Amino acid sequence: MTQSKRSLFLRGARDGLPICFGYLSVAFAYGIHSIEGGLPVWAALTASLTNFTSAGQVAGTDLILAGATLFEIAVTLFLINLRYALMSLSLSQKLDPGMSVLERAALAFGNTDEVFAVAMRRPGVLTTPYLAGLIFTPYVGWCLGTLFGATAAGLMPAVVRSALGLAIYGMFLAIILPEARANRAVALVALVSAAVSCLFACLPLLRRLSAGWVIIIASVAASSLGAFLFPIRETSDEPDEAPQRGAAQ
């Protein structure tokens, strides 16, 4: 039992490695950004240790440095991170039913976009040790990257820094393409979402929206269309329309 928990954690940690490398470079950029904006090193590191989110941290840091009110900071972070609520809702359907509230509350801290995507890709239910491992390596990468960026900004050659930035997108492709190849509904959803996202990047008025909003709008539109055109009527492990009530809780 202990051995299998350990191997599940290690499996998760290994699955999290590509995210870790991607985060190293993104957090590196965040570190540089915060220091250049006037934030002390300890503050940038504290933000990464306690927030563990990319777009929200950049926006929040900029607001702090601009002298914004706490209310403004809260509302902005709420809007940018609205997608996490959707992702947590989606993730809640895949968690081991025996997972305690405390475990859920602890694992929720690490539910980033990338952790979520890799977790959902894993077949079967998600266990606590696997998710803990999957969160562990990206978290280390995120915090170390921030520290490196904040302290050693400019030491890393630009070529290496930007090439590292591509790692995370390579990983995204490795998640999307095999599934899209096997399932035309997923292919359509991914294409529509990408198209909407491009639309927002190109059109002069729409491009003023923050990245968090673009992700929400594009993914909600594409997933709604997918659910409408290709509803998944799975023969699930649980009898959903079971006549007896009260049994499944």
Partner 1 sequence: MNQNAALSAGISTASVLLGIAVMAVVTYLMRMLPLVLFRRRIRSVWLRSFLAYLPYAVLAAMTVPAAFFAGGSLPATLAGLAVAGVMSWFRMGLFPVAAAASTVACLFSLIPGLS
* Residues 187 to 206 in contact with partner 1, rule: CB under 8 A: 189-194, 196-198, 201
Residue in 98, 123, 154, 159 binding partner 1, rule: CB under 8 A: 159
Candidates 1-9, 112-120, 122-130, 141-149 — which segment interacts with partner 1 by CB under 8 A? 112-120
Rounded to a whole number, what is the largest CA-CA distance in the chain? 66
Interface with partner 1, residue 105, by CB under 8 A: yes
Interface with partner 1, residue 145, by CB under 8 A: no
Q: If 0-12 CB within 10 Å is exposed, 13-18 middle and 19+ buried, where does residue 188 land?
A: middle
Least separation in angstroms between residue 244's CB and partner 1 is: 15
Q: What phi and psi, each to the nearest 5 degrees, are found at residue 56?
A: -60, -40
Residue in 27, 118, 143, 144 binding partner 1, rule: CB under 8 A: 118
Please count the helices (runs of H) and the strands (runs of E) in the chain: 13, 0
| Nearest by Cα to 185 from 222, 214, 221 | 222
Which 37-96 residues touch partner 1, going by CB under 8 A?
37-43, 46-47, 50-53, 56-57, 60, 63-65, 67-68, 70, 73-74, 77-78, 81-93, 95
Please give the Cα distance from 190 to 169 (Å, whole number).
14
